[in-house]
């Protein structure tokens, strides 16, 4: 998936392009020059869209790229993007730092770009790269080590005059001591893994009664994710915003802040919308937070790209240091949009020993000219089911047009497989407007054009946020989604016209009458002639966030052909007469002329499952099987079973056969796509059978726990 025109035209950096004024140059510190080292060939130790993103900038500047992949990723875009590509083997091999260094040296690479995630914040890997004579395109390993330990980082920040959230950051991990510290801080408190990131190993304890349960959950997830279950306990700010500052430093003592990003719209403590500048941030506070971020970077001798993250208290206007991400962030394109700079190229130049291309004054001048930018993360996940990740083949992908103000960074195209083994992010959609209101309108319009069928995605949910009045007005905080749950999960009523189009698409599909040209309506006869047959179809709504009908009953549709390309369609009590319709085989767009309107709807059918896109809204339907057919196909009745919501590994089983459980009681804990999820009981009842044990791998939809029937509970 190509980057935007913006990225291609703004990547020219360096002293031949940038001219500093004497006044601006006076604000830049300098030290003895570090020896320069040209990077002619680099290895990208990552996957997906960030591997493609780094590779494109490197190629634009004549740098040869070597890519890596694992067995599940052998046909992925990043694996195919370079003729120099090497298979690491097993699923977890992206973490095999020694093997990666061996490949880089064998290929004659001068440097390794770690992207984000995986080894990007692994200080030991950075140290080994340096010792092997390779340039680690990131900060010094000691800075990664200091900032990666949340307790140590807060000590450094306090010494540098950067304000920190009150809390306990000590080494004593006795559960009773941690609870006593939480009592001192006052509830609610945030329990957070010391060596964490991405929202993993993070839990909120809102009272003393739930502290130990949340502590156990945070430690378990931290241990599984990072191999270290040490946590810290901090005051949880009830109306917080997540504001972070993009900093960049070189080897000569220069450091700039390239503006801030507001990342407050989150689920599961992970960001899904990021924007710059942050809305409603007083200018004095904005400059102060930039200055504190630069102080934080200089305090650890930082080099390269980094992000200093702050928690901003909406009630008091205070901000506190949370952590520093010692790498390029997922949301870095937002900063690129508002500064007009290619941050990957900055990384490469700094790694070669060059000075920063811009001074702080020049950065601020750029920001004032480039308006407002927002990034939406497109995930394979089901918002209506607690944002549980999804996986599978991308059956259909249609993206909005890329312009100077609309950019897509993607690691997948139609036909690719979203693996259950890795993070479920499919793409990032970034837009820019002259101000925040225009940027939001452009984002909403682009999301309406974005179609993905196969795994369930969050596209519809993101579009709903863009229409939310409080979001539009900039009244954001990290608890936004939960506080606006009723509004954001209201769902969509399915119109009879859409159901009529789905029925007609199924008839055309079954009859093999889809045509390659949208204008062709001839030869659309279904059956044996006009009025000869009436077709009956039933659909059920498989999108739990939608409202199927007032009663929740299945939808019944009747279609009678009246001439070669004309039909009468009855959807319940709604009857549409003399309807003409046609399905394009290439685009899967159904064009239907009703008596009162024309509608174009994309209909993707995969067996008994149907996904339809109409006027920016997605609908998911199922053609139900008869009971006799399910029995003939050997499909097991799972009425009394709790099913795996996704492909997963069983981490813990909390119940046994014969146990009586209450509604919402934990049953099993699973792990999928780097996320730990507690599966809770949907009802009160008796456990008849626990199907899987700890360590088992399960497919999506397989039973985890079976409940006893009413006649078995006594």
The whole-angstrom separation of Cα 447 and Cα 89 is: 36
Burial of 41 by CB count in 10 Å (0-12 exposed, 13-18 middle, 19+ buried)?
Answer: middle
Residues in contact with 306: Cβ distance below 8 Å, sequence separation at least 6, in sequence order: 139, 147, 246, 247, 248, 249, 297, 324, 325, 326, 327
- Are residues 198 and 205 in contact, defined by beta-carbon separation less than 8 angstroms? no
CA distance 238 to 21: 45
Q: CA torsion angle for 375, 491, 416, 426 (degrees, to 10)? A: 20
Task: Map residue 291 onto helix, strand or coil.
Answer: helix
* 47 vs 57: CA distance, rounded Å: 15
CB atoms within 10 A of CB 282: 9
Q: Which of 67, 118, 71 is nearest to 91 (CA)?
A: 71
Nearest to 430 by CA among 376, 370, 485, 352: 376
Single out the residue of 196, 190, 202, 192 nearest to residue 227, CA to CA: 196
> Rounded distance, CA 479 to CA 467, Å?
17
**Triad 351, 352, 356: Cα angle to 5°:** 75
Spatial neighbors of 180 by CB under 8 A, at least 6 apart, are: none
3-state secondary structure 574-633: EEEEEEEEEEECCCCEEEEECCCCEEEEEEEEECCEEEEEECCEEEEEECCCCHHHHHHC
714 contact partners, CB below 8 Å, separation of at least 6: none
Which of the 8 DSSP states describes residue 325?
E
Whether residue 167 contacts residue 235, with contact meaning beta carbons closer than 8 Å, is answered with yes
Phi, psi angles (nearest 5°) of residue 272? -125, -20
Residue 527's alpha-carbon distances to 511, 535, 679, in angstroms, are: 8, 9, 48
By annotation, the residues acting in catalysis are 327
Report which DSSP code applies to 33.
P
Q: How would DSSP label each residue in 270-289?
A: EEEEEEESPTT--HHHHHHH
Closest CA to 347 of 20, 60, 30, 57: 57
Q: What are the respective helix, strand and coil percentages of the chain, to the nearest 5? A: 30, 30, 40
**Residues ≥6 apart with Cβ < 8 Å to 528:** none
Distances 593 to 265, 521, 576, 577, 579 between C-alpha atoms, Å: 40, 11, 10, 10, 6
């Amino acid at each position: 998936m190509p980057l935007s025109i913006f990225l291609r035209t703004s990547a020219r950096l360096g002293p031949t392009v940038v001219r500093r004024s004497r006044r601006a140059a006076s604000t830049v510190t300098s030290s003895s020059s570090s020896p320069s080292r040209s990077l002619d060939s680099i290895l990208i130790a990552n996957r997906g869209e960030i591997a493609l993103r780094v590779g494109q900038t490197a190629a634009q500047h004549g740098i040869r790229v070597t890519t890596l992949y694992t067995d599940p990723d052998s046909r992925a875009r990043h694996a195919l993007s370079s003729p120099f590509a090497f298979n690491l083997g097993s699923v977890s091999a992206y973490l095999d730092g020694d093997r990666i260094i061996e490949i880089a040296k064998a290929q004659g690479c001068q440097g390794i770009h770690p992207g984000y995630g995986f080894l990007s914040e692994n200080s030991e890997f950075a140290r080994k790269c340096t010792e092997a004579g390779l340039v680690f395109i990131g900060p010094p390993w000691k800075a990664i080590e200091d900032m990666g330990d949340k307790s140590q980082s807060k000590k450094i920040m306090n010494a540098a005059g950067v304000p920190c959230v009150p809390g306990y950051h000590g080494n004593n991990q006795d559960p009773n001591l941690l609870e006593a510290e939480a009592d001192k801080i006052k509830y609610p408190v945030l329990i957070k893994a010391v060596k964490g990131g991405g929202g993993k190993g993070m839990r909120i304890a809102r009272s003393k009664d739930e502290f130990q349960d949340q502590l156990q959950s945070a430690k378990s997830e931290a241990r599984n994710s990072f191999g270290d279950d040490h946590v810290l306990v901090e005051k949880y700010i009830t109306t917080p915003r997540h504001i972070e500052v993009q900093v960049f430093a070189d080897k000569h003592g220069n450091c700039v802040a390239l503006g801030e990003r507001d990342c407050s719209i989150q689920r599961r403590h992970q960001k899904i919308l990021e924007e710059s500048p942050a809305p409603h941030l007083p200018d004095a506070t904005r400059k102060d937070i930039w200055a504190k971020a630069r102080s934080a970077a200089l305090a650890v001798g930082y080099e390269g790209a980094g992000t200093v993250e702050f928690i901003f208290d909406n009630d008091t206007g205070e901000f506190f240091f949370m952590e520093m991400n010692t790498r390029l962030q997922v949301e870095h394109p937002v900063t690129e949009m508002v500064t007009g700079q290619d941050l990957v190229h900055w990384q490469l130049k700094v790694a070669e020993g060059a000075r920063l291309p811009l001074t702080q004054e020049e950065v601020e001048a750029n920001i004032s000219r480039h308006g407002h930018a927002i990034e939406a993360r497109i995930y394979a996940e089901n918002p209506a089911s607690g944002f549980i990740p999804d996986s599978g083949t991308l059956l259909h992908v249609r993206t909005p047009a890329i312009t100077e103000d609309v950019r897509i960074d993607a690691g997948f195209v139609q036909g690719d497989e979203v693996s259950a083994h890795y993070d479920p992010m499919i793409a990032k959609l970034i837009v820019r407007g002259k101000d925040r209101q225009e940027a939001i309108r452009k984002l909403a319009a682009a999301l309406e054009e974005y179609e993905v069928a196969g795994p369930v995605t969050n596209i519809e949910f993101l579009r709903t946020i863009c229409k939310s009045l409080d979001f539009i007005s900039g009244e954001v905080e990290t608890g936004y989604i939960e506080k606006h749950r009723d509004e954001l999960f209201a769902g969509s009523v399915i119109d009879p016209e859409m159901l009529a189009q789905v029925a007609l698409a199924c008839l055309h599909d079954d009859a093999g009458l889809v045509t390659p040209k949208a204008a062709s309506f001839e030869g659309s006869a279904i059956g044996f002639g006009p009025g000869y047959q009436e077709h009956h179809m039933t659909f059920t709504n498989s999108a739990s966030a939608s409202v199927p009908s007032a009663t929740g009953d299945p939808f019944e549709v009747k279609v009678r052909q009246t001439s070669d390309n004309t039909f009468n369609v009855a959807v319940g009590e709604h009857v549409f007469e003399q309807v003409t319709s046609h399905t394009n085989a290439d685009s899967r767009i159904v064009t239907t002329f009703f008596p009162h309107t024309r509608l174009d709807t994309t209909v993707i059918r995969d067996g008994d499952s149907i996904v339809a896109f109409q006027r920016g809204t997605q609908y998911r339907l199922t053609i139900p099987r008869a009971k006799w057919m399910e029995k003939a196909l050997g499909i097991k009745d799972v009425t009394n079973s709790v099913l795996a919501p996704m492909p997963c590994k069983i981490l813990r089983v909390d119940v046994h056969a014969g146990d009586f459980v209450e509604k919402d009681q934990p049953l099993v804990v699973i792990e999928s796509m780097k996320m730990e999820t507690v599966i809770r009981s949907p009802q009160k009842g008796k456990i008849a059978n626990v199907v899987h044990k700890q360590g088992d791998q399960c497919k999506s939809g397989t039973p985890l726990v079976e409940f006893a029937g009413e006649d078995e509970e006594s």
